[in-house]
Structure 1
C-alpha cells in the first residue's frame, strides 16, 4: 500500500475578515472591530488499486461537516459607513481547495473599510479652550468634546434615540474618571465640570471652573450644534454666538474675546433727577434777567411820560 498521511486527505481553509478606517478628523473614532476568522475543513479519499497497491488518485474535496464561510454583517458604527456592508458567504469547489493547497488561490481574506460620514465643527472658545461638535448625517449632535484652558477635557456622547448622555471627564494629566450617565433634564458634576442635559429642547450645558478671574465659562450647545458662551461671574446673562466659517469638512469658528470690564450706566431715574435739578436753575436765571430788563424799560417809559406832562402843564 502507498504511504498516505492525514494531510493528504484533509485540508483546513481559513478566511479572515479585518476592519480598518479611512483617515478623518473625527475626534471620537471608535475602537476597531475585532477581526473575524472563519475556518472550514475539507476531506477526500485516496483511490488505490487493490491488487497492485498503486495510488490511482483522489476523490474530489468535500466539506467535512458544515461550511463555515457564512455571511458576516459588518458591525454598525455611529457616523461611519462600512464598505462592504457585509461579507458574503463563500463555497469553495474542489479545484479551489487544490489551489489553496498549492498557494495559487487568490487570498480568501477580506477587509471592511469604514468611512466617516459625520460632520465635525471646531470652535475656539473665548477662554482659550476649544469646543468640537460632531453631528451625524441627519444633522443630529452625537458628541461634544471640550478642552478647557486648564487642560481638563470633557466628552459628552448623546444617544440620539433616548436623549441620554454619557459623560467622560479627564482631568489634566490624569486618567479618565468613570463614565457618568445623565438623563434628560438631569444635572451632575464630574471633577470641575457641571453638566446639564438640555434634551429635548437643547443638547447640553457645560460649566467649568478653570480658575479664571472672569469666572466659570458656561458653554451651551443647542440643537443645531452651535455653541453660545457666557461667564457665570460678572458676565451673567451676556452671551456670544459666534459666526462659523467653513473650512472643508471641518468648521473653525473664531469667537471674540470676552471682556470683564463692567459698563456703568446712569439710571433713567438719576438722569431725570439731574435734568430736573439743572433746568429750573437755568429758567430762574433767565426769569431774573428778564425782570430786571422789564423794570428798567418801565422806569424809562414812566419818566418820559412825566416829562411830557410837565411840559404840557407849563405851556
Structure 2
C-alpha cells in the first residue's frame, strides 16, 4: 500500500512540474506579443450564401497598415493584460486607444456575445478550463467584445492558440453593413520569429430565431516587431492616461463580477460610450467615470 501511495505521489509531482513548465511557456508566448509593431491588416470576403444574388453586396477587400504599441498593463501569475495603442501621426495627440486583450489562466467565467449589444454569462467547469487560457477582447472603451478559451500549443518549434467564438460586427463593417448581426470568429494567434500573426476564419451570421450563414471571410493580420523607440508617443500617452483607464477597467470589473447577462445601450444622448470616455481628462474622478458607464448599462 505504501508503495502504491509513493508511486501516486511521485506521478502527481511529475505531472505538476510538467504543467508548471507548460504554463511558463504559455506566459512567455503571450507576453511576447507586447512591444512596438508595424501591423498589416488584410480582410477578404471569400464566399457568400445570400439568396438575394441580385442585390447582395460583399465587402471589398481591405488592406491597411499601422504602427501599434502593445503595453503590458498587468502581469500576474494567472492574468496578463495588454493594451493596444495605435499611432496615427507624429504629435502627442496622434494616439488612438485601440483594443485590449486579457489572458486568464483556467478561467471559468465567460461573457459570450449573443446579438444586439447583449452578452450571455456562462459558467464552465474547472475540468473544462484545465490548462486553458481565456482571451478576453474588449472594445476601445473597455466594454466587452468577445472571448474564448483554449489551450496554447507548443509543438515542432511553433507556438499558437486557436478558438472559435461569436462577436459583434467588426469595426471595419459596423457602420457600412446591417445585413448580418453576428460574426462567428475563429481566431488563431501564432508567435513568429519576426513577431506574431492573427489569422481569422469568420462567418457572417444572421441571428434571429435561428442562425443563417450569409458569408465567410478571411483575415490575416501580421505584426512585425520594430524598435520600441518608434512607439515613444504611445508610451508617453499611456504614462499620462494609465490612471484614467485603470479606473475604467475597475468599473467594468464590478459589472462583470455580477456574473449576469449584460446588455448595453448603443448610444446615450446620441453619443456612443467611447466618445464620452475619450473626452475625459486624465484626472477625471471615479464617480464621473462610473456614472458615464452606468448610463450605458441596461438595468
Shorter chain as denominator, the TM-score bin is: under 0.3
Say which structure is richer in helix.
2
- Greater relative CO (CA pairs within 8 A, separation 6+): 2
Say which structure is richer in strand.
2
TM-score, structure 1 normalization: 0.23
TM-score, structure 2 normalization: 0.24
